[in-house]
Amino acid sequence: MTRAGDLTTPVLLADVGVLDANVATMSAARPGPALRPHVKAFKCTALAARLAEAGHTGFCCATVREMEGMAAAGLGADLLLANEIVDPRAAGRLGALVAAGARVTVAVDSSETIAVAAAAGIGEVLVDVDVGMPRCGCDPADAGRLADEARSAGLTVRGVMGYEGHLQHVADADERRSRTARSMAVLADAHAVVGGDVVSGGGTGTWDCNDVVTELQAGSFVLMDGDYARLGLPFAEGLVLLTTAVSVRPGRHAALDGGLKALAMDSGDPRLVDDPSLAAGVGEVLFCSDEHTTVAGGSWSVGDRVGLRPAHIDPTIAKHEVLHLVDDVRAGGDAEVLESWPVDLRGW
Say if CB 155 and CB 125 are below 8 A apart.
Answer: yes
- State which residue, 128 or 215, has the beta carbon closest to a second copy: 128
Q: Rounded distance, CA 236 to CA 239, Å?
A: 9
Burial class from Cβ neighbours inside 10 Å (0-12, 13-18, 19+) for residue 304 reads: buried
Give the x/- contact pattern for a second copy in 7-26, rule: CB under 8 A. -xxxx---------------
- Under the binding rule (CB under 8 A), the answer on residue 89 touching a second copy is yes
Q: Rounded distance, CA 313 to CA 228, Å?
A: 10
- State which residue, 85 or 213, has the beta carbon closest to a second copy: 85
- Under the binding rule (CB under 8 A), the answer on residue 299 touching a second copy is no
Among the listed residues 169, 226, 157, 237, the one whose alpha carbon sits nearest the alpha carbon of residue 198: 157
- Under the binding rule (CB under 8 A), the answer on residue 2 touching a second copy is no
Q: Rounded distance, CA 80 to CA 40, Å?
A: 12
Give the x/- contact pattern for a second copy in 166-205, rule: CB under 8 A. ----------------------------------------
- State which residue, 248 or 335, has the beta carbon closest to a second copy: 248
Q: Rounded distance, CA 108 to CA 117, Å?
A: 8
Taking the CB of residue 25, how many other CB atoms lie within 10 A of it? 16
Q: Rounded distance, CA 175 to CA 10, Å?
A: 39
- Under the binding rule (CB under 8 A), the answer on residue 148 touching a second copy is no
- Under the binding rule (CB under 8 A), the answer on residue 251 touching a second copy is no
Residue selected from 22, 26, 51, 83 as contacting a second copy according to rule CB under 8 A? 83
Among the listed ranges 71-79, 194-202, 274-282, 289-297, the one in contact with a second copy (CB under 8 A) is 289-297
- Under the binding rule (CB under 8 A), the answer on residue 284 touching a second copy is no
- Under the binding rule (CB under 8 A), the answer on residue 324 touching a second copy is no
- Under the binding rule (CB under 8 A), the answer on residue 36 touching a second copy is no
Taking the CB of residue 301, how many other CB atoms lie within 10 A of it? 11
How far, in Å, are 13, 200, 225, 245 from residue 289 at the CA level? 21, 39, 20, 14
| Pairing verdict, β 253-256 and 239-249 | antiparallel
How far, in Å, are 4, 272, 342 from residue 283 at the CA level? 22, 7, 32
Tell me the number of residues near a second copy by CB under 8 A.
60
Among the listed ranges 19-27, 49-57, 129-137, 197-205, the one in contact with a second copy (CB under 8 A) is 129-137
Q: Rounded distance, CA 79 to CA 66, Å?
A: 10
- Under the binding rule (CB under 8 A), the answer on residue 119 touching a second copy is no
Among the listed ranges 128-136, 193-201, 234-242, 273-281, the one in contact with a second copy (CB under 8 A) is 128-136
What does the binding site for a second copy look like in residue numbers (CB under 8 A)?
8-11, 40, 62-64, 83-87, 89-90, 109-110, 112-113, 128, 130, 134-137, 139, 165, 244-249, 252-253, 255, 257, 260-262, 264-266, 286, 288-292, 294, 296, 302-303, 314-315, 318-319, 321, 347-348
